[in-house]
Amino acid sequence: MEYKIQKYSSEHYELWNKFVAQAKNATFLFHRDFMEYHQDRFQDFSLLIFDEKNILKAILPANRVGDVLHSHQGLTYGGLVLNQKSKLQDVIEMLYFLLKYLNENSITSLYLKQLPAIYHESPSDEMEYLSFILNAKLIRRDSLSVINLETDFEFSSSRAEGIKRGADFGLEFKEEHDFTTFWNEILLPNLEQKYNTKPVHSLEEMTYLKSKFPNNIRQFNVYKEGKIIAGTTVFESDFVSHSQYISADESKNTTGSLDFLHNRLITYTFRNKKYFDFGISNENQGQNINQGLLFWKEGFGARTIVQNFYEIETKNYRLLENVLI
């Protein structure tokens, strides 16, 4: 079968978002309202793949930098987004036409930032296999610390002690609908002091995104005697709750504020999810691991899955011609 590739434009807005909602490997981050909050920073080059009957079969959230196409740099993950009925042969054929299209449009490389498998609604490792066929270069691999909430995971003694300290100090756990206190009193000062950096999202951007995705972006804070001492911003998708930002004041080791907070999230708030994702502890493009941070996450019963980053030369599309025999 032949496929037609089209560059995304605003006329595709409804079609794109409907496809994302029904895809087998997508989250709300692929909704155009999320992708476009920072559209001034990227040259959007998202693509839609249609079959011969003009039915949308796949999408690729992406931006272009010179002769390189990135699965969107403004997103934590990306890759080829597929519908529920997509089979491996379909993906082989679609990818052939996609890479051929890119090559003909002077794009020499495709950088893929894969969606971790815990976010898949059904098995969707087609691109992992085809990256091998295409002689893709593995340019980065991150390790995510994830709790499978459907197993009998256990908290370590150090995490249990922290949770008890939080209770002894009378800490208060609360979901908020405003990010201002956490951002201004905890997150921004911590990132500035420790790393001389700022969060990826500004307070204004996060407030905007919350207005668009009120059920997916949630803020949880911990208070001691009415004063905020810790918090986390959670991105909630169908199967996964992910702590996007985690931060606490200098009392965290004494009060156990972060242990207290995440105990509530893991044990109660998100207990019916399939996974709790603490995200990466990697630094230096995946080459190093923050040992203390990893120790803390694994103390909750989190274990490792990986996220792969590939560079694919678009001229290699011909390698897909003889895969099926």
In this prediction, residue 39 carries a pLDDT of: 86
At 31 the three-state DSSP class reads coil
**214 and 236 belong to one structural domain:** yes
Average pLDDT value over all residues in the chain: 97
Sequence-distant (6+) residues with CB within 8 A of 72 are 35, 42, 46, 61, 62, 63, 78, 113
Residue 179 has pLDDT above 90, yes or no: yes
**92 and 162 belong to one structural domain:** no
Residue 38's pLDDT band (cuts 50, 70, 90): confident
> What are the tens digits of pLDDT across the range 217-259?
999 999 999 999 999 999 999 999 999 999 999 999 999 999 9
Mean pLDDT of 43-66: 98
Residue 279 lies in a domain: no
Sequence-distant (6+) residues with CB within 8 A of 194 are none
**56 and 88 belong to one structural domain:** yes
In this prediction, residue 194 carries a pLDDT of: 84
Q: How far apart are CA 61 and CA 30, in angstroms?
A: 7
In this prediction, residue 212 carries a pLDDT of: 98
| Residue 256 in tokens | 């156990």
Contact 237, 274 (CB under 8 A): no
Q: What's the total number of domains in the chain? A: 2
Contact 125, 118 (CB under 8 A): no
Q: Which neighbouring-strand residues pair with 111? A: 70, 311
Residue 125 lies in a domain: yes
Report which residue type is found at 16.
Answer: W
> What are the tens digits of pLDDT across the range 70-111?
999 999 999 999 999 999 999 999 999 999 999 999 999 999
| Residue 43 in tokens | 């040259």
**87 and 192 belong to one structural domain:** no
Residue 213 has pLDDT above 90, yes or no: yes
- Please, what's the b/e burial string for 97-135 (b: 16 or more CB within 10 A of its CB; e: otherwise)? bbbbbbbeeebebbbbbbbbebbbeeebebbeebbeebe
Residue 33 has pLDDT above 90, yes or no: yes
**23 and 84 belong to one structural domain:** yes
> Considering the chain, what percentage of its residues have pLDDT values greater than 70?
100
Structural domain boundaries, residue 134: 4-142+308-320
In this prediction, residue 40 carries a pLDDT of: 86
> What are the tens digits of pLDDT across the range 108-163?
999 999 999 999 999 999 999 999 999 999 999 999 999 999 999 999 999 999 99
Contact 58, 81 (CB under 8 A): yes
